[in-house]
Amino acid sequence: MECRRTEWVLVDGAPSSGKTTVIQALHRRGYRIVPEVGRAYVELELARGRTLGDIRGNEERFQRALIAFYVEQFRRLDAAQSVILDGGFPHAQAYIELNATPNMPDILALCRPFHFKKVFLCDPLPFEEDHVRTEDAAKAAFLDRRIEEIYRELGYEPLRIPAMIVEERAAYVLDNLPSAEAHRIAHTPAIAAVLP
Sheet holding 118-122, edge to edge: 33-34, 83-86, 8-12, 118-122, 159-161
Instruction: Please tell me the distance from the alpha carbon of residue 169 to that of residue 29, in angstroms, as a whole number.
Output: 13
Q: Give the separation between CA 35 and CA 17, rounded to whole angstroms.
A: 15
- 77 backbone dihedrals φ, ψ, rounded to 5°: -70, 140
Q: Specify whether the backbone of 166 is left (phi greater than 0), alpha (psi in -120 to 50) or beta.
A: alpha
Q: Which residues contact 173 (CB under 8 A, 6 or more apart)?
A: 9, 11, 22, 26, 84, 120, 161
Query: What is the reported pLDDT for 195?
Result: 46
**Average pLDDT, whole number, for the chain?**
83
Q: What is the dihedral of CA 50, 52, 55, 56, to 10 degrees?
A: -170
CB 86 within 8 A of CB 116: no
pLDDT-based confidence at residue 167 (cuts at 50, 70, 90): very high
Element (H, E) at 163: none
pLDDT at 132: 56
Per-residue model confidence as pLDDT tens digits over 36-66: 887 788 888 889 999 888 887 887 888 788 8
The whole model's pTM is what? 0.83
What CATH number should be reported for the domain whose range is 4-186?
3.40.50.300
pLDDT band (50, 70, 90) for residue 178? confident
What's the pLDDT band for 172 if we cut at 50, 70, 90? Answer: very high
Q: State pLDDT tens for residues 6-24.
A: 899 999 998 889 999 999 9
Better-scored residue on pLDDT, 157 or 90: 157
- pLDDT of residue 125 exceeding 90: no
Question: What does residue 152 show for φ and ψ, rounded to 5 degrees?
Answer: -65, -40
Cα–Cα dist 82/16, whole Å: 26
Q: What percent of the chain is modeled with pLDDT above 70? A: 85
The answer to whether 67 touches 107, Cβ cutoff 8 Å, is yes
At 170, the amino acid letter reads A
